[in-house]
């Protein structure tokens, strides 16, 4: 039997998941814009030397040292972080396996079955709690005393391998943190073909049907033909491909803005702690302990020794207001967004004050976003099929572009659940 062909664009949470699901029912080719992933190996002391020399002054420079991490800036200079290469952003994320059942149900999307299935396929636990350092334990206790109901963060991976290096977002060299390359390896072992350094520019459409994608390999463009196309190039990548293909997206970009509030705390060693060890769910935002590498690398006022820097992340659910076209990104923060950030800052000041920090010693990090999505939001019946009606019948999207509203929480596990469902929908027509 000759299998129908499928192209999956991207190897992150959505792309790797859907490739694994489709291979066997389809003859799958996976196209990735980047190359092999390599963890960031430079010592922080060397980064500090660069910083003191004045060589590190723009966040976009990080790709010179760490090619996987790409930085875009919005028209208002907000920093946007994403991963390009095998594993996408999952390789530089914190490995959170948070289920968002209720939040997605409120948006009309039921992923309970897919979440359950993923929990059987991906190791997830909170065993890392026994490895927390004293400062993290104290922050957790303070949040309990404040009735903030903190919860240890479910983490994907095998944390028996964890050595508390604190470099989760720089690439886990120990293999303790799960990333989507695991699913990609399964797809390839079952026969899927993988091609790297293939930057997909557009979908080739004839009549009302897609016949393939056009991808660049260096200076050369090539048409890859297939019966099925699944775009999973991420919340910043997929909209550009669609617009280039004549398929209009919505100006409803969300990015889950992050701001870290930090203080000097002698010997806390948060730079050697698992990232985001617990989460506090607030109204419209979350709080979580976090060593902010981006701010440490590039902000002049983040000049304390890393082992003495203690931070708390504020991540808000922002309004869907913004757009991306090629390298131009517009993203304005609304009055509601600013209020949530301000409320989060006050809460962090309170927590750090109860810890014993002086208000005058508290400093802020770089405002940045790392969870872009929302520009192809599902609506009405689409929330059942997960197939936007504006797409050709044989084109699907399997990333955060589909999420109608920001979750204000780590979305990787939700993207994987959506991709798993989309794989099922695609197999119905195989």
From first to last of its 430 residues, the chain has per-residue pLDDT tens of: 456 999 999 999 999 999 999 999 999 999 999 999 999 988 887 887 888 877 788 899 999 889 999 999 998 889 999 999 999 999 999 999 999 999 999 999 999 999 999 999 999 999 999 999 999 999 999 999 999 999 999 999 998 899 999 999 999 999 999 999 999 999 999 999 999 999 999 999 998 899 999 999 989 999 999 999 999 999 999 999 999 999 999 999 999 999 999 999 999 999 999 999 999 999 999 999 999 999 999 998 898 999 999 999 999 999 999 999 877 899 989 999 999 999 999 999 999 999 999 989 999 999 999 999 999 999 999 999 999 999 999 999 999 999 999 999 999 999 999 999 999 999 987 6
96 conformational bin, left if phi > 0, alpha if psi -120 to 50, beta if neither? beta
Contact status, residue 281 vs residue 149, Cβ threshold 8 Å: yes
Task: State the fold for domain 4-36+99-122+178-249+374-428.
Answer: FAD/NAD(P)-binding domain (3.50.50)
Contact status, residue 230 vs residue 6, Cβ threshold 8 Å: yes
Query: Where does CATH 3.30.410 sit in the chain?
Result: 53-79+125-173+253-369
- From CA 13, how far away is CA 173, in angstroms rounded? 19
Residue 2 confidence (pLDDT): 54
Give the Cβ contact number of residue 361 at 10 Å. 12
Beta-bridge partners for 260: 313
C-alpha closest to that of 344 among 278, 297, 286: 286
Residue 430 confidence (pLDDT): 64
CA distances from 240 to 105, 201, 224, 233 (A): 28, 8, 18, 9
Query: Where does CATH 3.50.50.60 sit in the chain?
Result: 4-36+99-122+178-249+374-428
Question: Which residues touch 260 (CB under 8 Å, ≥6 apart)?
Answer: 290, 292, 295, 311, 312, 313, 314, 364, 365, 366
* Angle, CA 362 vertex, CA 361 and CA 368 arms, to 5°: 150
78 conformational bin, left if phi > 0, alpha if psi -120 to 50, beta if neither? beta
Residue 363 confidence (pLDDT): 97
Strand ranges in 247-373 using DSSP code E only, listed in sequence order: 257-264, 278-281, 285-289, 309-316, 322-325, 328-331, 362-364, 368-369
Distance of CA 393 to the CA centre of its chain: 28
- From CA 93, how far away is CA 409, in angstroms rounded? 12
Residue 1 confidence (pLDDT): 45
- From CA 96, how far away is CA 282, in angstroms rounded? 18
Predicted model pTM = 0.96
**Overall CATH class of domain 53-79+125-173+253-369:** alpha beta
- From CA 230, how far away is CA 426, in angstroms rounded? 9
């Amino acid at each position: 039997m000759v299998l129908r062909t499928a192209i999956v664009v991207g190897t992150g949470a959505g792309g790797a998941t859907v490739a694994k699901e489709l291979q066997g029912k389809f003859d799958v080719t996976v196209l990735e814009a980047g190359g092999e992933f390599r963890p960031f190996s430079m010592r922080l002391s060397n980064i500090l030397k660069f910083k003191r020399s004045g060589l590190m002054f723009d966040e976009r420079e990080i790709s010179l040292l760490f090619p996987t991490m790409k930085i875009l800036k919005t028209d208002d200079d907000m920093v946007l972080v994403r991963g390009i290469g095998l594993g996408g952003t999952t390789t530089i994320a914190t490995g959170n396996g948070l289920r968002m059942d209720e939040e997605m149900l409120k948006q009309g999307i039921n992923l309970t079955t897919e979440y359950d299935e993923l929990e059987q396929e991906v190791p997830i636990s909170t065993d890392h709690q026994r490895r927390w350092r004293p400062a993290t334990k104290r922050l957790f206790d303070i949040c309990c005393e404040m009735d903030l109901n903190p919860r240890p963060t479910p983490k994907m991976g095998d944390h028996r391998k964890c050595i508390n290096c604190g470099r989760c977002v720089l690439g886990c060299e120990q293999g303790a943190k799960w990333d989507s390359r695991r699913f990609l390896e399964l797809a390839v072992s079952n026969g899927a073909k993988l091609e790297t350094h293939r930057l997909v520019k557009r979908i080739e459409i004839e009549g009302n049907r897609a016949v393939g994608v056009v991808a660049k390999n260096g200076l050369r463009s090539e048409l890859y033909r297939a019966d099925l196309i699944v775009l999973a190039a991420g919340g910043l990548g997929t909209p550009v491909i669609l617009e280039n293909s004549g398929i209009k997206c919505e100006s409803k970009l969300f990015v889950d803005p992050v701001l870290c509030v930090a203080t000097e705390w002698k010997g806390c060693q948060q730079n050697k702690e698992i990232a985001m060890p617990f989460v506090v769910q607030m109204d419209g935002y979350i709080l979580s302990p976090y060593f902010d590498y981006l701010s440490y690398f590039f902000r002049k006022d983040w000049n304390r020794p890393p082992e003495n820097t203690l931070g708390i992340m504020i991540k808000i659910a922002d309004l869907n207001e913004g757009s991306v076209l090629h390298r131009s990104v517009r993203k304005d923060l609304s009055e509601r967004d600013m209020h949530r950030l301000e409320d989060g800052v006050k809460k962090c000041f309170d927590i750090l004050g109860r810890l014993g920090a002086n208000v005058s010693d508290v400093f802020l990090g770089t405002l940045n976003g790392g969870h872009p999505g929302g520009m192809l939001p599902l609506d009405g019946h689409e929330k059942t099929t997960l197939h936007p009606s504006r797409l050709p019948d044989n084109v699907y999207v399997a990333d955060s572009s589909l999420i109608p509203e920001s979750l204000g929480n780590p979305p990787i596990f939700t993207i994987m659940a959506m991709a798993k469902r989309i794989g099922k929908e695609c197999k119905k027509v195989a």
